[in-house]
């Protein structure tokens, strides 16, 4: 039995649980992009395109769609790594059940993150399909936006899961969403280029993992890839994932093995 195989075992639990709700998540995965792309791409886009201020003469729909893709991944992954993690420790106690079997902390962390990555894969595939249907994928390179979206999701899910295993109550999750996730959604280049932000805020926006995800998805769907900056984006997101996982191993162990 390899260590790698042990880390796959918790996935079966999450899939068994997901089997009960997957239809609902698929429906929302299809409906959400249609609503957003219609509202921002067509609704707001017709106003924006009149001022024709976007780089390289692209339409607002083409600009905003990859941003929405990355931002949606951030939101779903952040949710999946907050309440469900605390619940598996405190309320449903699933992690405790897993720890009464051969599974180790590392398997529990990787198993849960693996499930979130799977959810990202489903969401990203459907979302990208919707963007293509709206005519906003300009290059076959756009397909690479799917793994990038998975990476964006895990880059958020890993550190948030670390916090979820550290905190005693769910009160802080609301604050994380209100003061971190939603501001990132609005100001990390999803809806407008971040060089329009006042000086300091622009620097802050560069530091957010979401901006790196948004810009990378945008380069890919527009087919306008700048290898150096793309590499920086990938490394930045991998760093968040790596540090997040290390913190999660620490906080899960500290919380569950006492």
Partner 1 sequence: MTTQDGQPLIHARGLVKRFGELVAVDAIDFDLQRGEAFGFLGPNGAGKTSTMRMIGCVSPVSEGTLRVFDLDPAEDGVEIRARLGVVPQEDSLDLELTVRENIIVYGRYFGLARSVLKQRADELLDFVELTERAKDRVEPLSGGMKRRLTIARSLVNEPEVLLLDEPTTGLDPQARHVVWDRLYRLKRQGVTLLLTTHYMDEAEQLCDRLVVMDKGKIVAEGSPRELIERYSTREVVELRFADDDGRPEDFSEWTDGLVSRVEPLPDRVLLYTDDGDAASHGLHERGLVPESILVRRSTLEDVFLHLTGRSLIE
Which residues in this chain contact partner 1 in the complex, by CB under 8 A? 1, 5-6, 9-10, 12-13, 16-17, 20, 92-94, 96-104, 256-258
Nearest CB to partner 1, comparing residues 20 and 50: 20
- Distant-in-sequence, close-in-space partners of 193: CB < 8 Å, separation ≥ 6: 54, 55
What's the alpha-carbon Rg for the chain, to the nearest Å?
19
CA distance 4 to 6: 5
In whole angstroms, the minimum distance from the beta carbon of 131 to partner 1 comes to: 33
Nearest CB to partner 1, comparing residues 144 and 256: 256
Nearest CB to partner 1, comparing residues 51 and 169: 169
Nearest CB to partner 1, comparing residues 41 and 111: 111
CB burial string 143-177: b at 16+ within 10 A, e below:
ebbbebbbbbbbbbbbbbbbbbbbbeeeeebeebb
CA distance 152 to 120: 9
Nearest CB to partner 1, comparing residues 87 and 139: 87
DSSP letter for each residue of 148-200: HHHHHHHHHHHHHHHHHHH-SSTHHHHHHIIIIIHHHHHHSSSSS-GGGS-HH
In whole angstroms, the minimum distance from the beta carbon of 169 to partner 1 comes to: 18
Nearest CB to partner 1, comparing residues 13 and 236: 13
Q: What is the dihedral of CA 47, 49, 51, 57, to 10 degrees?
A: 170
CA distance 205 to 198: 10
In whole angstroms, the minimum distance from the beta carbon of 145 to partner 1 comes to: 33
In whole angstroms, the minimum distance from the beta carbon of 258 to partner 1 comes to: 6
In whole angstroms, the minimum distance from the beta carbon of 92 to partner 1 comes to: 6
In whole angstroms, the minimum distance from the beta carbon of 158 to partner 1 comes to: 22
Tell me, what DSSP letter sits at residue 54? S
């Amino acid at each position: 039995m390899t260590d790698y195989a042990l880390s796959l075992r918790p996935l079966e639990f999450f899939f068994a649980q997901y089997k009960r709700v997957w239809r609902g998540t698929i429906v929302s995965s299809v409906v959400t992009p249609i609503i957003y792309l219609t509202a921002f791409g067509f609704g707001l886009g017709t106003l924006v395109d009149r001022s024709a201020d976007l780089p390289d003469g692209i339409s607002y729909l083409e600009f905003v769609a990859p941003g929405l893709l990355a931002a949606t991944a951030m939101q779903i992954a952040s949710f999946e790594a907050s309440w469900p993690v605390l619940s598996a420790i405190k309320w449903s106690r699933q992690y405790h059940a897993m720890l009464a079997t051969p599974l180790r902390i590392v398997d529990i962390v990787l198993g849960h993150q693996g499930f979130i990555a799977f959810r990202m894969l489903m969401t990203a595939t459907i979302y990208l399909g919707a963007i293509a249907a709206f005519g906003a994928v300009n290059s076959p390179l756009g397909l690479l936006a799917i793994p990038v979206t998975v990476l964006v999701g895990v880059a958020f899910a890993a550190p948030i899961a670390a916090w979820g295993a550290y905190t005693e109550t769910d009160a802080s999750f609301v604050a994380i969403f209100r003061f971190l996730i939603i501001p990132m959604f609005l100001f990390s280049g999803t809806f407008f280029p971040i060089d329009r932000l006042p000086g300091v805020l622009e620097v802050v926006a560069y530091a957010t993992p979401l901006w790196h995800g948004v810009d990378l998805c945008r380069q890919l769907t527009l087919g306008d890839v700048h290898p150096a900056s793309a590499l920086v984006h990938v490394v930045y997101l991998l760093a968040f994932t790596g540090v997040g996982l290390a913190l999660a191993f620490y906080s899960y162990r500290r919380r569950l093995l006492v």
